[in-house]
Amino acid sequence: MNPVASLPIALFLLLGVGTVSAERADRDKPMRIEADRLKYDDAKRYSLFEGKAALTKGTLVLRGARIEISEKADGYKHATIVGEPGSRAFFRQKREGVEEFFEGEAVRIEYDGRTDRIELSERAEVRRFRGVALVDSFVGQRIVYENLNDLLYIDGQRPGANAPQGRVRATISPPERTESRP
C-alpha cells in the first residue's frame, strides 16, 4: 500500500472526525451464509459458496457471486468475496454506539475474523451513512477498514509497475452539530 496516499485519510480519522469502530458484539455472533451451491471440505476446514452468496455475522453483511471461507487453527475464519463478472461484491456494517453504517463495494473483498479487518480491492468504494443520509465517501483502488484499531486506509495506486498512478477521492462532511447557533 502506498503510505503517502493513505496517510492523510488515516490522520483525518484519528484526529477526531469520529471513530470507524464496528459493533464489538459482531465478533461473538454466529456466521450465517446462504448461496445456490456449497462445496465443503471438513478435513481442510474450507467452504466455497457460489451463486448469490450472502454472509451475515451480527450487523456485518457480505454479498457476492462467491464466498470462500477457510477456518484457521485458532478457530477464526477468513472469507474472500468476489462479485459477478463486471460487478462488485458488497459489505455493510453498523458502527459501535451510534446510528451509523459503513458500506462498500469492490471486485474482491477479504474479511479476517481474527483482526476484524475488511480489505476491498479493485474499484473499491466505501460510504458512511448517518441513519439514511450519506455523510462520507471514499474511492480508491484498495481500501482497508480496520475495525479494532478504528482506522481506514485508502490507496489510489493501481497494482503493476507500468500502470498509471491512481488517485484517492474522498468526500467528507463536517461533524454533526449538537448545539444550535445563536
Cα gap 12→57, rounded to integer Å: 29
Average pLDDT over residues 71-94: 94
Whether residue 177 lies inside any domain: the answer is: no
Tens digits of residue pLDDT in 17-58: 444 455 666 778 888 999 999 999 999 999 999 999 999 999
How would you classify the pairing of strands 169-172 and 133-146? antiparallel
Whether residue 181 lies inside any domain: the answer is: no
Whether residue 137 lies inside any domain: the answer is: yes
SS3 content of the chain, % helix, strand, coil (to 5): 10, 50, 35
Higher pLDDT, 177 or 3: 177
Cα gap 173→136, rounded to integer Å: 6
Place of cell 457480505: 62
Output the average pLDDT for the chain.
84
Cα gap 127→11, rounded to integer Å: 18
Whether residue 22 lies inside any domain: the answer is: yes
Q: Is 4 a residue whose pLDDT tops 50?
A: no
| DSSP 8-state assignment for residue 150 | T
Q: Is 9 a residue whose pLDDT tops 60?
A: no
Range of the domain at 155: 3-172
Whether residue 182 lies inside any domain: the answer is: no
Whether residue 180 lies inside any domain: the answer is: no
Contact call for residues 35 and 50 (beta carbons, < 8 A): yes
Residue 162 has what pLDDT?
A: 54
Q: How many domains does the chain have?
A: 1
Higher pLDDT, 165 or 97: 97
pLDDT class of 88 with cuts at 50, 70, 90: very high
Residue 24 has what pLDDT?
A: 63
Whether residue 20 lies inside any domain: the answer is: yes
- Whole-prediction pTM value? 0.80
Residue 44 has what pLDDT?
A: 95
* CATH value at residue 17: 2.60.450.10
SS3 assignment, position 7? helix
Copy the grid coordinates of residue 69: 471461507
Whether residue 179 lies inside any domain: the answer is: no
How would you classify the pairing of strands 108-112 and 77-82? antiparallel
Query: Percent of the chain having pLDDT more than 70?
Result: 79
Tens digits of residue pLDDT in 113-146: 888 899 999 999 999 999 999 999 999 999 999 8
Output phi, psi for 4, to 5 deg. Answer: -65, -40
